Structure 1
């Protein structure tokens, strides 16, 4: 049963799901952090949730397992199942239902009153469990934190009562929120409580792996809301080691192209704003209030006028990179300039007559625009980048493409 799954540390599950199932490049023999038995135990657990999506391939290095999810037929994020298996004991389950029944009438009760009523329930059993006042207090405070109960202080006594139930949003709202929004697992939990199981949305680009970072993201959003510092443990995968850094979280940013999630943070040690990828964060702990939070948020807002993605200026010179390119289009191709206007995140579009326009921008890192610019290649008549090595690379890549398709004479 689910409550016998003793998952005390979700980070371990998160690590396995990412390394062995999302990336799909490690074999059982490549696992060296703990024993192979530990790997087998976690593998069986994850396959119990995601067995229908599991695939494997065999190569010289051994059997490699990975997830294969077809978004055309899978409408709901299957990775949320990992959050719906929680660590409980038989005592947790027993105490939960007793407390919920005691407080079901909506009345406020003190810890001592609740403990006395719990004892009354247990007398009906020959070999009943015994719950002391400290255990009951801890469970009540846990439920207050989770929003299941509400507490208030009356003199020196704390009174507890059930929180009011709220009306669930429309199922279409839950469907969309759970698959698109950060921390969408919340919407998935709510959707499980509805009877309407119709699937009204399908997604061409369905970014599901952010589900594993929901706990980290939730803590970060709480810290931003409370204007607090955080201490993050980051894993550096190339060097395979973990570092701990105290930072001020300023904004969460999501890539609509890759689905990657980032936080923009101020690092006091380096005195600059930079980006951290959420899937590289191992743990997050909230700290003290950040005195300069509003000032740093305003600074980031000003910087975003020169940020195409998440790259910020890491140089002492504060030098921007200028980039511009010109596109041409025919009479019936007004969708080209409209697309430029719609998709540009920063910069400006200048019209050069009826059939041409120029996009230009000053950015911290011009290389972030290159994938977008490539989508206009057959329309581009001129391109200029102040970072000449980047410009040369772009043109050399284009030349290599021409040669590969035998189009040297059509440059």
Structure 2
């Protein structure tokens, strides 16, 4: 009898480093109908494109991935409408991140202690051996001890000491202290803040945990998207959660960072000071003690540095930049569009100094530290805005450069 040869899978469904596919996921979310060749031009090889596309299709419901043919080329994009669904299905892409080698210890320990017993480390080890009759697991006492320490530090386990012996047991479930009505209210609150906080993934995981807990108690689970809609629900922002978490931890623990930024392969050491988010455009910025600003989505590599001595001395605070904007409205312009623009300015530019030159011209000025962060906002006013003579030269050059690139891409020039 001949043994059947096993077919090798065409791709691996999990990856160790989420950053490998971050650029692809962001591109497939933001840009419509790119082909394999288009991705090749931005550094994603054709085979890598095929593998990443299969991974995405495994993570996200088919209805949210749209494929079309343009001649013989197949184009793919992420198809979602924030007004139909506020749930960010890109959170599912984090499931593809492979677990560390000793992750099974966490699962086994929690399963063993779920009976409510309080056990010594050797009793937990014996229980693992009893369930490992086929010897598929390579049990290490030191790795087991590290897993117990990590679970205790995370708050999932608690310890008691009796006669120099340490007993481990599951920590009290804080959800047990809440009524069904309180849990539903908590779910509603978590669902609201999930898409407006710096980090979104923990919110989705917590909401899912509350929902499963309610189900285990025989209570109806809240429906996704039953309440909240967001005007600015930026789906791609969620892929940067891993980077943002590292930055937040570094700020809290007063650690330094080393990053690789954009196409620059040179490693940049820095001390993080704060994070800010431009919600309408889905951009998060890292601000350093050197008064430098980095766009988080352009950070390709990041790691924590323990020794602050590697960071240069604090530089002199850069000079403030001037924004000088002139808004022009003509009688031939669409009245509804002009009204909407003026309403936006009343809300979004209330912090700027405004001078009404006449009924058609309005002058807005302000002094800012990071003028470049306002470029997307300025560009959003399209034909109604022009730059005054006092606008910083670097901002003028950047906007002119972006305009030329856009016209070239559309074949106008």
Deviation at 1:281, TM superposition (A): 1.2
Deviates more, 1:256-265 or 1:166-175: 166-175
Hey, what does 1:175 align to over in structure 2?
Answer: 191
Partner secondary structure for residue 201 of structure 1: coil
* 1:288 and 2:306 aligned: yes
Partner secondary structure for residue 183 of structure 1: coil
Structure 1 residues 7 and 183, CA gap change in structure 2 (3 angstroms): same
Q: Is the 8 A contact 2:55 2:96 kept in 1?
A: no
Hey, what does 1:31 align to over in structure 2?
Answer: 40
Structure 1 residues 286 and 370, CA gap change in structure 2 (3 angstroms): closer
Q: Is the 8 A contact 1:227 1:290 kept in 2?
A: no
Hey, what does 1:54 align to over in structure 2?
Answer: 65
Structure 1 residues 42 and 145, CA gap change in structure 2 (3 angstroms): farther
TM-score between both structures, scaled by the size of structure 2? 0.68
Hey, what does 1:6 align to over in structure 2?
Answer: 14
Q: Is the 8 A contact 1:320 1:363 kept in 2?
A: yes
Specify which of 247, 250, 272 is matched with residue 249 of structure 1.
272
Deviation at 1:9, TM superposition (A): 1.6
CA RMSD after TM alignment: 4.7
Q: Is the 8 A contact 1:71 1:206 kept in 2?
A: yes
What are the ranges of 5 or more consecutive residues in structure 1 without an aligned counterpart?
267-271, 304-312, 329-333, 395-411
Hey, what does 1:196 align to over in structure 2?
Answer: 222
Structure 1 residues 154 and 60, CA gap change in structure 2 (3 angstroms): farther
CA offsets 1:242-282 (integer angstroms, 9 cap, x no match): 3311111111111122111111124xxxxx42211111112
Distance 1:209 1:66 in 2: 12
CA offsets 1:59-112 (integer angstroms, 9 cap, x no match): 47932322121222222001001123442599855x445311433366664433
Deviates more, 1:281-290 or 1:70-79: 281-290
Q: How does 1:333-352 map to 2 (within 5 A)?
A: 342-344=347-349, 346-348=351-353
Q: How does 1:112-127 map to 2 (within 5 A)?
A: 112-119=122-129, 121-122=130-131, 125=133
What are the ranges of 5 or more consecutive residues in structure 2 without an aligned counterpart?
1-11, 176-182, 212-220, 330-338, 400-413
Hey, what does 2:178 align to over in structure 1?
Answer: none
Distance 1:369 1:35 in 2: 32
* 1:323 and 2:327 aligned: no
Distance 2:102 2:255 in 1: 36
Specify which of 380, 386, 390 is matched with residue 386 of structure 1.
390
Specify which of 273, 287, 294 is matched with residue 276 of structure 1.
294
Hey, what does 1:143 align to over in structure 2?
Answer: 151
Q: Is the 8 A contact 1:322 1:385 kept in 2?
A: no
Hey, what does 2:3 align to over in structure 1?
Answer: none
Hey, what does 2:172 align to over in structure 1?
Answer: 164
Q: How does 1:35-46 map to 2 (within 5 A)?
A: 36-46=46-56
Deviation at 1:163, TM superposition (A): 3.1
Hey, what does 2:367 align to over in structure 1?
Answer: 362
Hey, what does 2:402 align to over in structure 1?
Answer: none
